[in-house]
Amino acid sequence: MASGFFALLDDIAALMDDVVVMSKISTKKTAGILGDDLAVNAEKATGFVASRELPVLWAITKGSALNKLIILPIAFLLSAFAPWAITLALILGAIYLAFEGAEKIYEFFVPHAHETDNGIDLKTELTDEERVVAEKMKIKSAIFTDFILSVEIVIIALGTVLGEPILFQILVVSIVCIIATVGVYGIVALIVRMDDFGYRLVRFSKKEKSISKYIGNFLIRALPVVIKSLAVIGTIALILVAGGIFIHNVEYIHHATEDISLPSILIEFIVGLIVGFLALIVIKTFKFLLKKIKGHK
């Protein structure tokens, strides 16, 4: 009986070792989405008065956790009873990611007026009631964006363990989701408080020239640069992840690119970019036609 117990412990240890290894692989696969998630949420969490940044970020974090609790059971059911739907969702998600990346590039080269969240700046003079309403609307917008990205994180993570036992899938994907939520929003919290920490360092020393003032001013100036840099890195990562999904899951694209003598990362970027701009053209055309139809009514 004792030998059976120790054999069970050995099996559990072996399972957890495999889970850790596959969790690392899955986390690497979802790194592009996590980078975009980080960039998007860092941007969404800014624009509030300093005293409300962390409470708002906590509300978004709870919404993100709830998103994953909704998505995970559905994804596991599909994996158990309709695994083909995971691959289909993966490809559809890749089209969305490629489209989002292409749209960001398009908007950079063809700038146009952006609509803010309901046209409200949360740092302007608002009544307490208006501020609460505006804050809730911005939180809802952030949670909705997180839901879309969470779907992709879950599907990509699940795609790396398809064919494994369902318990193995649940453990690996759940670990990736925990890392995604705690890691991303923990880093976002540090980013959004960077300038406030900088202001504290500046006020800490009364000397005109001091190390604390130098570091403080650096952190204050670095915040917008960090957010913009994350946005650029996230865009590139989106296109790379999408391209990789197309190459590994669409047989035609896989065969069309396997003989091309270019680095795989460049091939993935080109494929993702082509699909992204095709999706962008389709969406822009659809919106244009829809606008024309509405105009004739």
Express each pLDDT in 194-229 by its tens digit: 877 888 888 777 776 778 888 888 888 887 788 778
- Token pair for residue 21? 């290894």
pLDDT at 170: 83
pLDDT at 118: 45
Mean predicted confidence (pLDDT) in 16-34 = 57
Mean predicted confidence (pLDDT) in 21-30 = 57
Question: 3-state SS string over the chain?
Answer: CHHHHHHHHHHHHHHHHHHHHHHHHHHHHCHHHHHHHHHHHHHHCCCCCHHHHHHHHHHHHHHHHHHHHHHHHHHHHHHHHCHHHHHHHHHHHHHHHHHHHHHHHHHHHCCCCCCCHHHCCCCCCCCHHHHHHHHHHHHHHHHHHHHHHHHHHHHHHHHCCCCCCHHHHHHHHHHHHHHHHHHHHHHHHHHHCHHHHHHHHHHHCCCCCCHHHHHHHHHHHHHHHHHHHHHHHHHHHHHHHHHHHHHHHCHHHHHHHCCCCCCHHHHHHHHHHHHHHHHHHHHHHHHHHHHHHHHHC
**Nearest Cα residue to 185 out of 27, 30, 39, 23:** 39
Express each pLDDT in 90-117 by its tens digit: 788 889 888 988 998 998 888 665 544 4
pLDDT at 117: 45
Express each pLDDT in 248-277 by its tens digit: 888 888 888 888 888 888 999 999 999 999
pLDDT at 4: 46
Please state which of the ranges 3-7, 133-137, 178-182 shows the lowest mean pLDDT.
3-7
Please state which of the ranges 2-6, 56-60, 265-269 shows the lowest mean pLDDT.
2-6
Please compute, for residue 27, the number of CA atoms within 13 A of its CA located in the half-sphere on the CB side: 18
| pLDDT at 285 > cutoff 80 | yes
pTM here is 0.70
> Is there a contact between 109 and 101 (Cβ–Cβ < 8 Å)?
no
Task: Give the span between the Cα atoms of 198 and 215, in whole angstroms.
Answer: 7
> Is there a contact between 11 and 217 (Cβ–Cβ < 8 Å)?
no
Average per-residue pLDDT for the chain: 76
Identify the band that residue 245 occupies on the pLDDT scale cut at 50, 70 and 90: confident
- Token pair for residue 199? 């202001």
Identify the band that residue 165 occupies on the pLDDT scale cut at 50, 70 and 90: confident
The length of the chain, given as a count of residues: 297
| pLDDT at 15 > cutoff 50 | no
Task: Give the span between the Cα atoms of 132 and 27, in whole angstroms.
Answer: 36
Residue with the larger pLDDT of the pair 142 and 59: 59
